[in-house]
Amino acid sequence: MRLMISGGGTGGHIYPALALIEALQAQDPTAEVLYVGTHRGLESRIVPERGIEFKTIKIQGFKRSLSLQNFKTIWLFLKSVGTARRYIKAFKPDVVVGTGGYVSGAVVFAASQMHIPTVIHEQNSVVGVTNKFLSHFVDRIAISFESARSQFPEKKVVMTGNPRAQQVVNIKRTAALQALGLADDQPTALIFGGSRGAARINAATLEAIPELNQRSYQTLFVTGQVHYDQLMAKLGETKLAANVKIVPYIKNMPAILPEIAAILGRAGATSIAEITALGIPSILVPSPYVTNDHQTKNAQSLVDAGAAKLVKEADLTGASLLAALDSLMLHADARESMAAHAKQLGQPAAADQLLQVLESVVKR
């Protein structure tokens, strides 16, 4: 199969695409893949690192208010559709897949106009702007939450789950925490604010560090690349005990996750797919800055199933973060029950199911 795939901006759109590529190449070692992203998004760093052919187009998002920038956006969109058409003519894909972000809008739209089979993958419970637009043109729409179904043209929708779920369950334990300098025989809490870090989660964690230093459990705190230097400067003279580790980013999250006892983090859809696939107890602090408050809706589906706790960002302080973490990290029974509920929501065959959708449109 010749797969052209596009998804960009944040990890939540990129990692599902990479997981799908991995599953395809495992199934069909002769498969050819071209990834199209932007040169500014996180994808420009992570995709080439995996040895995947990567091409870029220039595009920007619409401003919500009326602005001259929007004319530039329309012009850039039309231009990027032209660039995408050139890439498609040269690569000759059997299928073009979009996993969200503005860049996938141009690529998948161009493919649909050229009558190439197209599929989009929606990770969230509330549908993103780009996928909403593309839903009118594509052949199939793969979803990860049942609640997304009614927001799309019904006949095109297939429930597959998020391919990242399958990727993380297939990883064997590798003593990844030890490689980061943590012990391998203590329960470990992972704190991170999505793929780009979250200032508020970082501030609350920083406040809690003197206490975390004294806990019987370990903490792995991932700040997000752009926040790291400033956070370490603010940490100043505060010493870190051996049970607390701070890093800017985790390159190989699937290797870390099986060794994690509980997570405190945002409620991005791809993080949730990982948490449920592996059955990891979690405290979710939804980002209030995303379209239609979709992270709260993502998180609520877990909370309703007894699979996670929700703490509103407005209520997050050093003390409330510590109390929430202690309630899980100091109580193995609470973790066990939450883990079992989380796992019931997992979709560990998602990548294979999405591959079947791709095959069905190629054959048609």
| Alpha carbon distance 22, 8 (integer Å) | 17
Q: Is 287 in the site for ligand UD1 (CB under 6 A)?
A: yes
| Alpha carbon distance 274, 302 (integer Å) | 12
* Number of residues this chain uses to bind ligand UD1 (CB under 6 A): 26
* HEC profile of 261-284: CEEEECCCHHHHHHHHHHCCCEEE
Q: Is 268 in the site for ligand UD1 (CB under 6 A)?
A: yes
Residue type, 36: V
Q: Is 188 in the site for ligand UD1 (CB under 6 A)?
A: no
Shortest distance, position 275 Cβ to ligand UD1, whole Å? 10
Q: Is 271 in the site for ligand UD1 (CB under 6 A)?
A: yes
**Where are the strands (E) in the chain, listed by range?**
2-6, 32-37, 53-56, 95-98, 118-122, 140-143, 157-159, 188-192, 218-222, 244-247, 262-265, 282-284, 308-310
Q: Is 37 in the site for ligand UD1 (CB under 6 A)?
A: no
Instruction: Indicate the residue among 99 and 243 with the shorter CB distance to ligand UD1.
Output: 99
Q: Is 126 in the site for ligand UD1 (CB under 6 A)?
A: no
Q: Is 3 in the site for ligand UD1 (CB under 6 A)?
A: no
Check residue 271 and give left, alpha or beta (phi > 0: left; psi -120 to 50: alpha). alpha
Provide the token pair at 80: 């990027």
User: Beta partners for 244?
Assistant: 219
70 marked as binding residue:
no
Instruction: Indicate the residue among 13 and 215 with the shorter CB distance to ligand UD1.
Output: 13
Among 195, 219, 243, 347, binds ligand UD1 (CB under 6 A): 195
> Which residues in this chain contact ligand UD1 in the complex, by CB under 6 A?
10-13, 15, 100, 123-124, 164, 192, 194-195, 222, 249-250, 253, 266, 268-271, 274, 287, 290, 294-295
> Which residues are documented as binding site for UDP-N-acetyl-alpha-D-glucosamine?
10-12, 124, 195, 250, 295
